[in-house]
């Protein structure tokens, strides 16, 4: 039996179909503007978690990378749900907050935008209306 995440990763969404039945118009022009703005280094790109250069701890990061680099045995993506030890730690933390979930029910994503997109794709059907 597949988990919901395995089922989602076994198929490729038909993005054009989603755009056609969406209440929101295609955002091609908006995406183009964002892509152009990303090359402008006078902007501080908050969506990427980019900090100001004066706050960048270059030496500390360099030291940390050197230490970690000696201890990494595998740098692959695994099964795509995120590192199991992190999912276990999150499951344990959630349990301390009275939220019962297993590590298999936890998915590590790259940010809130990706999480919301996955939730919307997994929870909404094309032939249903939502209010």
User: Is residue 114, in this structure, part of any structural domain at all?
Assistant: yes
User: Is residue 115, in this structure, part of any structural domain at all?
Assistant: yes
Residue 103 belongs to domain spanning? 82-124
- The number of residues in the chain equals 131
pLDDT at residue 113 above 50? Answer: yes
Give the mean model confidence (pLDDT) for residues 76-81. 74
User: Is residue 30, in this structure, part of any structural domain at all?
Assistant: no
pLDDT confidence of residue 27: 67
- Asked if residue 120 lies in contact with residue 22, where contact means CB atoms within 8 angstroms, the answer is no
Higher-scoring residue by pLDDT: 49, 103: 103
User: Is residue 11, in this structure, part of any structural domain at all?
Assistant: no
pLDDT at residue 87 above 70? Answer: yes
Give the mean model confidence (pLDDT) for residues 1-27. 64
32-43 pLDDT, tens digit per residue, is 787 788 788 777
pTM attached to this predicted model: 0.40
Distances (CA, A) of 35 to 19, 26, 52: 20, 16, 20
Q: Which of 72-81, 84-93, 98-107 has the lowest mean pLDDT?
A: 72-81
| Percentage of the residues of the chain whose pLDDT score is greater than 90 | 13
pLDDT at residue 131 above 80? Answer: no
How many structural domains does the chain have? 1
* Radius of gyration of the chain from its Cα atoms, rounded to whole angstroms: 19
- Asked if residue 55 lies in contact with residue 62, where contact means CB atoms within 8 angstroms, the answer is no
* Three-state secondary structure readout of 76-104: CCCCCCCCHHHHHHHHHHHHHCCCCCCHH
User: Is residue 99, in this structure, part of any structural domain at all?
Assistant: yes
Give the mean model confidence (pLDDT) for residues 90-119. 88
pLDDT confidence of residue 5: 64
Band (pLDDT 50/70/90 cuts) for residue 47 is low
81, with CB counted inside 10 A (0-12, 13-18, 19+), is buried
């Amino acid at each position: 039996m597949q988990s919901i995440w395995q089922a989602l990763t076994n198929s490729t969404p038909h993005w054009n179909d989603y755009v056609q039945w969406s209440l929101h118009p295609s955002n091609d022009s908006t995406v183009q503007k964002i892509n152009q703005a990303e090359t402008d280094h006078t902007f501080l790109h908050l969506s990427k978690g980019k900090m100001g250069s004066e706050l960048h701890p270059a030496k500390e990061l360099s030291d940390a990378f050197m230490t970690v680099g000696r201890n990494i045995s595998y740098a692959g993506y695994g099964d795509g749900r995120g590192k199991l030890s992190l999912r276990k730690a999150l499951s344990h933390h959630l349990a301390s907050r009275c939220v019962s979930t297993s590590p298999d029910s936890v998915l590590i994503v790259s940010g809130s935008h990706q999480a919301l997109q996955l939730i919307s794709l997994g929870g909404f059907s094309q032939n249903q209306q939502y209010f």
